Amino acid sequence: MKCVDDFRLKLGDKELVPIITGGMGVDISTAALALEAARLGGIGHISDAMVPTVTDRRFNTKYVKDKLKQYKFNVENSDKSVVQFNLGLLEEATKLHVGHTMDAKRGDGMVFINCMEKLTMNAPKDTLRVRMRAAMDAGIDGITLAAGLHLGSFALIEDHPRFRDVKLGIIVSSLRALQLFLKKSARTNRLPDYIVIEGPLAGGHLGFGLDWAQYDLATIVAEIRDWLVEQKLDIPLVPAGGIFTGTDATNFLEMGAAAVQVATRFTVTRECGLPEDVQQEYFKASEDEIEVNQISPTGYPMRMLKSSPAIGDIIRPNCEAYGYLLDASGNCQYIDAYNREHAAHPGERRVRIWDKTCLCTHMRNFDCWTCGHYTYRLKDTTHRNADGSYQILSAEHVFHDYQFSKDNRIALPEASIAV
């Protein structure tokens, strides 16, 4: 019987353990987590979501405070088009985040950044261009294009000196999305170096509608694999979403995948950015406490715990400080929902908004508990402490469990407290 360690991911001249930790914004997939995956010979993702905000927390910079000061005059105004990011400062923050991470890298693996097109930041092309180029300047090993179709993203960096050396990947959830991307980026004469195929059981935003349960990752992977063979294209495939055990991963590698991308199992590790009280919520969750809803202002369905404080929002849109989801005209679906509800309840102060949430603020504060479908199985991956809480794992333990386990077994960590 084989295990993940019997396979290797070949990317250019590199041979890697075929385990990739997925990007988890906002700073849930921390530098510490990505660096562990790289140290152990795999690939770890950091995230480019809300980097100035993350940099403030990491390096004590003041990007958010300064931006709020600059736009304070607009706080009461529902038209947010004036709230623009300073591209020079965005570049500086990204270089800080990525540069420090790359300087700390040890071992044979790689560190990639997860870049989301849906982070439109009131100037979609300009801000995405700056984020990608700054990450390349700061030495990132690869960029994974996520959340959005990214039909023009390659073109934004094609004149960068590292365009052909940095690894470039794309996340898709269907063959059709892949075909569209390849057609649109053909002009740059640059194929993706890998394709992440994200199925309906993943965490974060989904590339499916509310009918997600009708889709199956293995079927989509087989469809894309067969089409690529037909087209004589040899691009490594990386399934993601619901791969919970080493055996799940091995099954995909045996059907022709080059690696797997995993995230949920790492949300309860010490290196992950989620505060420990939130990690305990993930451990405790039962299957019926996990839902896919439409409260994200991006318009994509998102999976989260029903008990997330972000659901049933009351806060005023906070775009002067954040504003990462403002579209090209300064709109966000949360602002619309907030204004509609306040117009319907004049004079009331604590009006609840159920259909949308202020994702920037809540992701920043770890109050939107987005999670993968199998979060309810996390409790089976560790020990229960005497006080009823669950023992937090190390990223190394989880990584090795994926790498070496067989027969659907999940190795428990050494118990730190008597159970």
Ligand X SMILES: Cc1cc2nc3c(=O)[nH]c(=O)nc-3n(C[C@H](O)[C@H](O)[C@H](O)COP(=O)(O)O)c2cc1C
Q: Which residues bind ligand X (CB under 6 A)?
A: 22-25, 28, 47, 49, 114, 116, 146-147, 171, 198, 201-204, 240-243, 261-264, 267, 370-372, 374
**Alpha-carbon separation of residue 192 from 19, 172, 181, 199, 401 (angstroms):** 18, 12, 10, 19, 29
Quote the least distance from Cβ 93 to ligand X, whole Å: 17
Q: Least separation, in Å, of the C-beta of 160 and ligand X?
A: 22
Instruction: Supply the minimum distance, in Å, between the C-beta of residue 159 and ligand X.
Output: 26
Residue pair 19/403 in contact by the 8 Å Cβ criterion: yes
At closest approach, how far in Å is the CB of 161 from ligand X?
26
Q: Is 243 left (phi over 0), alpha (psi -120 to 50) or beta?
A: beta
Question: Min. distance of Cβ 205 from ligand X in angstroms?
Answer: 7
Q: Closer to ligand X at the Cβ: 48 or 92?
A: 48
> Which residues partner with 194 through β-bridges?
169
Query: Which has the closest alpha carbon to 381: 212, 264, 207?
Result: 264
Q: Give the C-alpha distances (Å, rounded to integers) separating 320 from 121, 267, 349, 367.
A: 11, 30, 21, 20
CB of 35 to ligand X, least distance (A): 17
CA distance 56 to 21: 24
Query: In this complex, which beta carbon is closest to ligand X, that of residue 53 or of residue 261?
Result: 261
| 23 or 317: CB nearest ligand X | 23
Complex with ligand X: residue 198 or 341, whichever CB lies closer: 198
- Residue 323's nearest CA partner among 130, 94, 86, 152 is 86
Query: Which amino acid, residue 266?
Result: F
| Length of the chain (residues) | 419
Give me the least distance between CB of 381 and ligand X, in Å please: 12
CB nearer ligand X, residue 264 or residue 391: 264
Residue nearer to ligand X on the CB measure, 68 or 201: 201
Tokens of residue 253, six digits: 């590698």
Asked if residue 17 has a cis previous peptide bond (ω within 30° of 0), the answer is: no
Smallest distance, ligand X to C-beta of residue 272, A: 8
Question: With contact defined as beta carbons under 8 Å apart, do 298 and 118 qualify?
Answer: yes
Paired residues of 304 in beta bridges: 291, 370
Least Cβ distance, residue 241 to ligand X (angstroms): 4
Query: Residue 56: which residues within 8 A CB-CB, separation 6 or more?
Result: 62, 63, 64, 65
User: Which residue, 261 or 403, is less far from ligand X as judged by CB?
Assistant: 261
Give the C-alpha separation, 95 to 244, whole Å: 33
Q: How many CA atoms lie within 13 A of 220 on its CB side?
A: 27
DSSP state of 392: P
* Helix 124-137 vs helix 87-103: crossing angle, to nearest 10: 30
Q: Which is nearer to ligand X, 28 or 332 (CB)?
A: 28
Per the structure block, which two tokens stand in for 257?
């995948």
**Residue 334 dihedral angles phi and psi, to the nearest 5°:** -70, -35
Between 204 and 330, name the residue whose CB sits nearer to ligand X. Answer: 204
Least Å distance, CB 158 to ligand X, is 22
Burial of residue 282 (CB within 10 Å: 0-12, 13-18, 19+) is buried
Nearest CB to ligand X, comparing residues 113 and 156: 113
Least Å from the CB of residue 8 to ligand X: 20
Residue number, 52 or 338, with CB nearest to ligand X: 52
